Amino acid sequence: MSSTATARESDVDTATLRRKVAFASAIGNFVEWFDSGAYAVMSATIAGLFFPQYDPAAALLATWAVFAGGFIARPIGAIVFGYFGDRIGRNKMLAASVLCMSGATFLIGVLPPYSVLGIAAPILLFLLRAVQGFSTGGEYTGGSAFIMEYAPDGKRARYASPIPMTVGIAAVAGSLVGVLLTSGLSEAALLSWGWRIPFLLAAPLGLIGLYLRSRVEDTPVFRALERHDAVPRTPLRNAVRLCGKQILILFGYSITNAVAYYLMSSYMIAYMSENLHYSKASAMLTSVVAMLVYSIACPFLARASDRFGRKPMLLVACGGFVVLTYPAFLIMPFGIGMAMLGAGVLALLVAAIGTSNVPALVELFPTGVRSSGSAIGYTAAYVLFGGTAPFVATGLTQATGSSLSPGFYVMGVALISLIVVLFAFTETKNLSLRRDTVT
């Protein structure tokens, strides 16, 4: 066989392997975020089942407090999954995370309500949400590192785009299940057993994700570390000691990604139904449209990130939130069409920041501490700002009496991120992923 033919076969094998990696990463990520999204989709129903109904507004706030409580375990998950991702491999920890998430979500689906268990019901719900948060702490950044370390130079963002895209697709799937359940079942059936369906789907989805991930070997970048006996013994300590600046920069612009995404996905349904007085079906349909816009936009905006760079795209996204969030919230009360338009604008901006955030969070860190460093900065942003976003938005709306207050919150956070990117972030798209030093 000629050398040309051999090279051609090698290129085909490499392309096939990369598609396989992308698919395994996408499916596993879908499972994680469908499971997490199931809680948000059923938040209003959960409020009535797991908390005393002396005050419906207080019950909804308690539901979002439990949602935020799930983020408390994220730093622990980030430390554990990041540490072992750098020590024993990216793929092994990703397989563990999908099992952890699916098991916790399934148990939420069989958990008896407050009327049966009393105060134990919300406590157990909180603990299971914490297990979900523990799993998610290592999934997004670990999956990003895994797929990026297989990607060819110059096309990293587009190869990594299935990571943010499947987050959106999972949210669409969760919202569609919610629409079907709320529109197809009576209120009694929904409260009795219908709300459990999205959670019970976790078991088969988890097994599918585990199977696909187990059939892909670890990244060539990590295997090279193993061959050269260069796997760090203390990746977490090294990440904090050597990459403190990179961690802070990642945190600084990820807070906007975190707040905007969770307001768009998790909070929007409750916001439209409770504050703007749309029907639950209309609110869920708007959420579906927004997440479809987000998912469809991801691959196109990822190509733009590969062409123009991470910094320009991050500046456009953060600046867009500062300028466009207020008009987007302002038009939402004026009919379902305007609500969809406003949510769609926010969805495009979230896609713009997310598709550059994924490659940048990997590129910021050298190989040996990549999982640990990225997990710390990204997860801290989501714990402090993402998990609390629905709770803060609900509290601001009730305290001010203005349905626009969540929009001002997004704008303030985006302004902080804009300053961080403008003055502290250095372009990363051309950095080598095989480097062993901080750049």
Q: What is the pLDDT of residues 291-340, one digit of tens each?
A: 899 999 999 999 999 999 999 999 999 999 999 999 999 999 999 999 99
pLDDT value at position 4? 46
If you average pLDDT over residues 358-362, what whole number do you get? 91
To the nearest whole number, what is the mean pLDDT of the chain? Answer: 81
pLDDT for residue 12: 43
pLDDT at residue number 54: 57
pLDDT digits (tens, 9 = 90+) for 134-184: 887 777 777 777 788 888 888 899 988 988 898 888 877 876 777 778 778
Higher pLDDT, 439 or 132: 132
pTM, entire model: 0.81
List, for residues 182-210, the tens digit of each pLDDT value: 778 887 888 888 888 888 887 787 777 77
Task: Specify the CATH number for 11-424; select among 1.20.1250.20, 2.40.50.140, 1.10.8.50, 1.10.3720.10.
Answer: 1.20.1250.20
Mean pLDDT to the nearest integer, 412-427: 96
Q: Which two tokens stand for residue 249?
A: 């920069």
Range from 25-29, 289-293, 308-312, 428-432 that averages highest in pLDDT? 308-312
CA–CA separation, 220 vs 239, rounded Å? 21
H/E run at residue 228: none
Rounded to the nearest angstrom, the gap between the alpha carbon of residue 422 and the centroid of all alpha carbons in its chain is 24
Domain residue extents for the chain = 11-424
Between CA 131 and CA 388 the distance in angstroms is: 17
Write the pLDDT tens digit of every residue in 251-275. Answer: 999 999 999 988 887 778 778 888 8
Q: Is residue 58 within 8 Å of 190, Cβ to Cβ?
A: no
Radius of gyration of the chain (CA): 21
Q: Where are the alpha helices (DSSP H) in 88-155?
A: 90-109, 114-117, 120-148
